[in-house]
Amino acid sequence: MPTFRQRLKPRFAALALIVLGVVAVLLLRLWGMQVLSGHAYATQAENNRIREITLEAVRGRILDRNGVPLVTNRMTMAATVSPTVKDDEEMLARLSNVLGISLSEIKEKVSSTRLEALKPRTVAIDVSMSVVAYLAEHESAFPGVETQQQAVREYPQGSLAAHVLGYTGEISESEFKSRPDLVGYALGDVVGKAGAERQFERVLQGDRGFKRIEVDASGKPKGVIEQGDPIPGRDVVLTIDSKVQKVAEQALKTALEDAHGQKFPKARAGAAVALDVKTGEVLAMASLPTYDPELFIGGISTANWKRLTAKSSEYPLTNRGIMAQYPAASTFKAFTGLAGLTYGVTTPGTTYDCQGRWTAMGDQWPKWCWNHSGHGIETFMDGVRDSCDVVFYNIGYSFYKRDKEELQKFVRRFGFGSLTGIDLPGEADGRVPDAAWKRAFNENYPEYRTWLPGDTVNMAIGQGDLLVTPLQLASAYAGIANGGVVETPHVLKSVLGSDGKVTLVERAKAAFRTKVAKGDLSTMNQALVSVTENGTARGAFAGFGVTVAGKTGSAQVAKKDDYALFVGYAPAENPRYAVAVVIEQGGHGGSVAAPAAREILAALLGQPITHVRATDVSR
Amino acid sequence: MEERSRLSFVNVPLLVIVIGLVTYGTVIVQSATSGMPGGAGLFKRHLLGVAIGVVAMLVAWAVDYRKFKSWLPALVALDVLLVISPRIPGLGDTAKGATSWLQIAGVRLFQPSEPAKLVTIIVMAIVISRFDGVIERPRDVAKILAFLGVPLVLILLQPDLGTGLVFVAITMGMLLIGGLKARWFLVFGLVGVLAVGIVLQGHLLEKYQEDRLLVFVDPARDPQGAGYNLEQSKIAIGSGELTGKGLRSGTQGNLNFLPERHTDFVFSVLGEELGFLGAVLLLGLYLALLITALEISASSKDLLGSLIAAGLISMWAFQILENIGMTIGLMPITGIPLPFVSFGSSFMVTNLAGTGMLLSVWARRRAPQSQLSA
């Protein structure tokens, strides 16, 4: 018997202990992981293999009041790239070649952090079938790249009514925080971002579906576990009449040309709004410059976005009809006049002596009529027709002396200084200045905080600190036309159910009554008719088959050429439509804005649409 | 052996345990490869490895281990040759940075580091057995370490850190049985700690090796690489819970979340599909294997046989600890497979040949009445 065995006996025991220790340690750890924490690991394994994918519902269409489609959907082949390959520079460069879009654009889209972490990013739409085939054949060379059918917006009428319709896009982080209407959406979902697309998002969107799929480690789907089909969004019918809209947009373009021809070369922008005075329905809302909504399909490129928002662009995305604020200029005289009649400050026959220069506030503060040589003796009615500033300086000064801010209170009843409540996002509220406003506005300039006679006098002719939107003007004139009742303007006519039948009808919302005496309204109606028959807009409306009541305006804006305005309604005897036109830096209301208004009214009233070259250079 | 009965020539428990392990491993490898592209072919290769292994086991069983003593120079030469062969131009093929193959005319034959483990065991057993159970003097220790040092340095230069660690573990276990004084283990421990510190501080390892070593301390170190593998492995095993998800029903494995799931991470598949109970069964088999081997070691007629058995025990115990340990975050990740279970023919043949060596030691043991328990 070898001697080593007895000596080494404890050492075998030690090795046995080591072996037991190894097994014990492993078993203890496995007990902890599999039995004690097994459930938590099981959850992790489930999260590993199951992905929930949102299924977009087909977005509802947007139709005009006669059922003409303005926004529809079309199927397109889109190329998507999984964010997991965002660092595969070399592959993305090849993809950029194949798709014909820049590498930087692809990288920008793939790296977007706005989407769910694993949601594939759409990098291109309208991918040709040959490219789709190429990508399919070379699948292994393009990991993470897929092509699939996608529904995108289509605009059968091109850029028609682009500002009313708005556009869609992926929710950005800032929007996600600032838009309470997006509760229940996820970052990167496609939603309406402007116009009706945004306003009626909930109706258009439909209900998203979902798909729970099993994926492997590379994110490749292996099978569907559960699926909930999406419910398509519903169609929205707008009050817009696409024929009138088309005329309005063309009329604005023509008006810009007219302005250029009249030596106002800086005219580049303008707006037109047409309302049904009895219901507040918006029949047309045009804004120049406009943009091509196609640019937003599949996500707008940075370059295009920069172009559309650059300072030199005149901001084509702005819907000037509701967002731009202008001095009302002489178009405001209708309300100063009505206020004067209402408060007994003037009567139709009250006479004023216009010498061109007006010094009622004292010789040191003279003011001028636009007609520097003076209109001579003018009645109130003549003053409206000729847009005589002196007549309205006097009325304004009377209101100043009464010291009750009655003029401001009166015009607010027509909706000035507050939102009209139109069902479109981004409306501006304008401004009706008063003493309290001036005090607050000039908080840091004590010498400018006092309300002066000139402030009321300026406001009386629609200048000074007064600001209005084209929609406010159209809506207020519609109020005169509608017997003093201002209907809330709106663009939603109805919503269609899945069967195509009307399920929701937009009724005229709580209109507000200005409580102006019928007699005074009729006096103003008469005065406004004289404007188009014998006054500052007679050239523009010469030979028009329907009586139009309206008012021209030429707004003075610091460091700019005058803005041309016309607001009116027709038929004067039984008013149905109100129209407002503003041409920025267009010069004269009578010769630039009024002809455009005439064309729009002609479209509304079924009159022949003829472009009139008016020569009125009055205000 | 001539006076012994046929039955005692065979260590039946050892055979049963190894057959059990190989069968169990085959079931798991089948499950792991079933969802892989070319899985059926891989499984066939696994079966082929088992078949070759059985032959190797029989050969090793038949060979009298005592003859090895006179072959020491040749064995050392063989050891060196095996270890450096992947480096010889025309013979070697290096895949994944470390897995080294021997190939001739472009045909991969085997991973020479696997049989090198067995050759190292034999070489070290011969060298250590010469001291007859007492190793105390520094020159003796130096002499033994020199025999370890030659293949170890060469394997570390491959670089194959995992196999190097196996060599060290083998030698330590054999020195324990071979009679090295306890204070030397203390010295080795200190040197080991120091070496790890120097290697990490001096960044002597390849970046990927360092990541794999450190990631089990801090899984966030490389979440998509080594950390990701560890994380997915832990999820697989943990989610198996008590009874597992069923064979071929593991989602972590079948959906490719697990890396190397038929080789290095085969235990993760077992843990996911058969749960804690499956793991207990495997570890029970391993414990039985090691204890049986220990019994064989203790019952050897000579120190050489004891040492060979001790080397095999150390090799398996270390590989089990390292492989399972890495899948559950107890050990750093190295490319060490799971004995008798992982896919890999060279590895399977080596383990079965080792079993044959155990059987050879058993067959030539001393009289059965004085066992370890006696």
Task: Round to whole Å and give the CA distance between B121 and A381.
Answer: 121
Residue A138: the pLDDT is 87
| Lowest-pLDDT range of A154-163, A204-213, B292-301 | A204-213
Q: Searching chain B, which residue's CA lies closest to the CA of residue A222? A: B255
Kindly determine whether residue B317 and residue A22, on different chains, have CB atoms separated by under 8 Å. yes
Residue A264: the pLDDT is 95
Residue A461: the pLDDT is 96
Q: Which among A565, A547, A566 is positioned nearest to A605, based on CA atoms?
A: A547
Kindly determine whether residue B176 and residue A14, on different chains, have CB atoms separated by under 8 Å. yes
Residue predicted with more confidence, A224 or A111: A224
Report residue A372: phi and psi, to 5°: -60, -25
- Considering the domain boundaries, does residue A97 fall inside one? yes
Q: Please name the residues in contact with A506: beta carbons below 8 A apart, sequence gap of 6 or more.
A: A239, A423, A490, A492, A493, A494
pLDDT per residue as tens digits for the range A337-388: 999 999 999 999 999 999 999 999 999 999 999 999 999 999 999 999 999 9
B5 Cα to chain A: minimum distance (Å): 21
Task: Round to whole Å and give the CA distance between A160 and A249.
Answer: 8
pLDDT per residue as tens digits for the range A419-477: 999 999 999 999 999 999 999 999 999 889 999 999 999 999 999 999 999 999 999 99
In sequence order, what are the beta bridge partners of A550?
A568
Q: Please name the residues in contact with A191: beta carbons below 8 A apart, sequence gap of 6 or more.
A: A168, A169, A170, A171, A182, A185, A197, A198, A201, A205
- A-B CB pairs within 8 A amount to 146
| Lowest-pLDDT range of A89-98, A223-232, B90-99 | B90-99
pLDDT per residue as tens digits for the range A597-613: 999 999 999 999 998 88
Residue predicted with more confidence, B368 or A271: A271
Phi-psi region of B100 (alpha: psi -120 to 50; beta: other; left: phi over 0): beta
DSSP single-letter state for residue A340: H
E-assigned strand segments in A107-217: 121-124, 145-154, 168-170, 190-192, 209-215
Average pLDDT on A163-192 reads: 84
Task: Round to whole Å and give the CA distance between A17 and B188.
Answer: 20
Q: Which two tokens stand for residue B92?
A: 């070697």
Q: Which residue has tokens 């650059």?
A: A310
Q: Searching chain B, which residue's CA lies closest to the CA of residue A40? A: B239
Q: Which two tokens stand for residue A58?
A: 């087909």
pLDDT per residue as tens digits for the range A468-514: 999 999 999 999 999 999 999 999 999 998 777 787 776 656 678 89
- Considering the domain boundaries, does residue A103 fall inside one? yes
**Is the backbone peptide bond immediately before A289 cis, with ω within 30 degrees of 0?**
yes
Q: How many helices (H) and strands (E) does chain A have?
A: 22, 23
Please list every residue in chain B whose beta carbon sits closer than 8 Å to the beta carbon of residue A50. none
Kindly determine whether residue A30 and residue B279, on different chains, have CB atoms separated by under 8 Å. yes
pLDDT above 70: percentage of residues in chain A: 97
Q: Searching chain A, which residue's CA lies closest to the CA of residue B319? A: A22
Please list every residue in chain B whose beta carbon sits closer than 8 Å to the beta carbon of residue A86. none
Q: Searching chain B, which residue's CA lies closest to the CA of residue A14? A: B176
Task: Round to whole Å and give the CA distance between A439 and A212.
Answer: 61
Task: Round to whole Å and give the CA distance between A412 and A235.
Answer: 36
Question: How far apart are the two ends of chain A, measured CA to CA in Å?
Answer: 131
Please list every residue in chain A whose beta carbon sits closer than 8 Å to the beta carbon of residue B176. 11, 14-15
Kindly determine whether residue B276 and residue A35, on different chains, have CB atoms separated by under 8 Å. yes
State the helix-helix crossing angle for A389-402 and A333-342, rounded to 10 degrees: 50
Task: Round to whole Å and give the CA distance between A461 and A392.
Answer: 6
Task: Tell me the C-alpha to C-alpha distance, in Å, between residue A484 and each of A516, A567, A569.
Answer: 6, 16, 13
Centre a 10 Å sphere on the Cβ of residue B168 and count the other Cβ atoms it contains.
Answer: 16
Residue A216 has pLDDT above 90, yes or no: no
Q: Which two tokens stand for residue B280?
A: 């207990």
- Considering the domain boundaries, does residue B74 fall inside one? yes
Residue A218: the pLDDT is 76
Long-range contacts: B219-226, Cβ < 8 Å, 24+?
B219/B329, B226/B333
Kindly determine whether residue B133 and residue A35, on different chains, have CB atoms separated by under 8 Å. no
B109 Cα to chain A: minimum distance (Å): 31
Task: Tell me the C-alpha to C-alpha distance, in Å, between residue B250 and each of A27, A105, A494, B33.
Answer: 21, 41, 54, 12
- Considering the domain boundaries, does residue B1 fall inside one? no
Kindly determine whether residue B177 and residue A15, on different chains, have CB atoms separated by under 8 Å. yes
DSSP single-letter state for residue B117: H
pLDDT bucket at B107, cuts 50 / 70 / 90: confident
Residue A276: the pLDDT is 97
Kindly determine whether residue A15 and residue B330, on different chains, have CB atoms separated by under 8 Å. no
How much is the CA Rg of chain A, to the nearest whole Å?
34
Mutate one of A6, A17, A19 to test the B interface: name it (highest B CB count within 10 A): A19
Please list every residue in chain A whose beta carbon sits closer than 8 Å to the beta carbon of residue B291. 16, 19
E-assigned strand segments in B256-340: none
A27 closest CB neighbour out of B236, B252, B283 = B283
Kindly determine whether residue B235 and residue A27, on different chains, have CB atoms separated by under 8 Å. no
Kindly determine whether residue B242 and residue A38, on different chains, have CB atoms separated by under 8 Å. yes
A287 Cα to chain B: minimum distance (Å): 53
pLDDT bucket at B366, cuts 50 / 70 / 90: low
B302 closest CB neighbour out of A2, A35, A214 = A2
- Considering the domain boundaries, does residue A536 fall inside one? no
Residue B106 burial (10 A CB sphere; 0-12, 13-18, 19+): exposed
pLDDT above 70: percentage of residues in chain B: 89
Residue A478: the pLDDT is 97
Task: Round to whole Å and give the CA distance between A458 and A452.
Answer: 10
Task: Round to whole Å and give the CA distance between A313 and A305.
Answer: 11
Q: Searching chain B, which residue's CA lies closest to the CA of residue A27? A: B280
- Considering the domain boundaries, does residue B373 fall inside one? no
- Considering the domain boundaries, does residue A91 fall inside one? yes
State the helix-helix crossing angle for A129-137 and A89-99, rounded to 10 degrees: 150
In which domain, by residue range, is B337 found? 6-362
- Stretch (H or E) spanning A279: none
Residue B217: the pLDDT is 63
pLDDT per residue as tens digits for the range B179-209: 999 999 999 999 989 988 888 787 777 777 7
| Lowest-pLDDT range of A264-278, A422-436, B5-19 | B5-19
Residue predicted with more confidence, A1 or A358: A358
DSSP single-letter state for residue A362: -
Kindly determine whether residue A217 and residue B257, on different chains, have CB atoms separated by under 8 Å. yes
Residue B116: the pLDDT is 94
Kindly determine whether residue B317 and residue A42, on different chains, have CB atoms separated by under 8 Å. no
Q: Which of A54-58, A120-124, B247-251 tops mean pLDDT?
A: B247-251
Average pLDDT on B53-72 reads: 94
Kindly determine whether residue B276 and residue A30, on different chains, have CB atoms separated by under 8 Å. yes
A218 closest CB neighbour out of B235, B252, B256 = B256
Task: Round to whole Å and give the CA distance between B74 and A429.
Answer: 100
Residue A121: the pLDDT is 82
**Is the backbone peptide bond immediately before B223 cis, with ω within 30 degrees of 0?**
no
In which domain, by residue range, is A111 found? 75-149
Residue B369: the pLDDT is 46
pLDDT per residue as tens digits for the range A103-153: 888 888 887 765 566 677 888 888 888 898 898 888 888 888 988 888 889
Q: Searching chain B, which residue's CA lies closest to the CA of residue A214? A: B255
Q: Which among A233, A230, A166 is positioned nearest to A193, based on CA atoms?
A: A166
A72 Cα to chain B: minimum distance (Å): 41
Dihedral sign for Cα atoms in the order A497, A503, A505, A510: negative
User: Could you tell me if A449 and A438 are in contact, meaning their C-beta atoms sit under 8 angstroms apart?
Assistant: yes
Task: Round to whole Å and give the CA distance between B337 and B153.
Answer: 21
Q: How many domains does chain A have?
A: 1
Supply the CATH number for residue A86's domain.
Answer: 3.30.1390
Residue A450's Cβ-side half-sphere holds a number of Cα atoms within 13 Å equal to 4
A44 closest CB neighbour out of B134, B235, B279 = B235
Residue B370 has pLDDT above 60, yes or no: no
pLDDT per residue as tens digits for the range B294-318: 999 999 989 999 999 999 999 999 9
Q: How many domains does chain B have?
A: 1
pLDDT per residue as tens digits for the range B78-99: 999 998 888 777 777 655 554 5
Kindly determine whether residue B297 and residue A12, on different chains, have CB atoms separated by under 8 Å. yes
Residue A475: the pLDDT is 97
Residue A534: the pLDDT is 93
Residue B48 has pLDDT above 70, yes or no: yes
Q: Cα dihedral angle (B62, B64, B65, B67), rounded to 10 degrees? A: -140
| Chain A residue set in contact with B, beta carbons under 8 Å | 1-5, 7-8, 11-12, 14-16, 18-20, 22-23, 25-27, 29-31, 33-35, 37-42, 44-46, 48-49, 214-218, 222
A24 Cα to chain B: minimum distance (Å): 9
pLDDT bucket at A3, cuts 50 / 70 / 90: low
Q: Which two tokens stand for residue A207?
A: 């209900």
DSSP single-letter state for residue B134: -
Please list every residue in chain B whose beta carbon sits closer than 8 Å to the beta carbon of residue A36. none
Report residue B135: phi and psi, to 5°: -125, 115
Whole-number average pLDDT of chain A = 91
Kindly determine whether residue B173 and residue A11, on different chains, have CB atoms separated by under 8 Å. no
Residue B122 burial (10 A CB sphere; 0-12, 13-18, 19+): buried
Instruction: For residue B162, give the amino acid letter.
Output: G
Q: Please name the residues in contact with B10: beta carbons below 8 A apart, sequence gap of 6 or more.
A: B359, B363
Average pLDDT on B31-49 reads: 92
pLDDT per residue as tens digits for the range A297-331: 878 888 889 999 998 899 999 999 999 999 999 99
User: Could you tell me if B120 and B154 are in contact, meaning their C-beta atoms sit under 8 angstroms apart?
Assistant: no
Residue B372: the pLDDT is 43
Residue B319: the pLDDT is 97
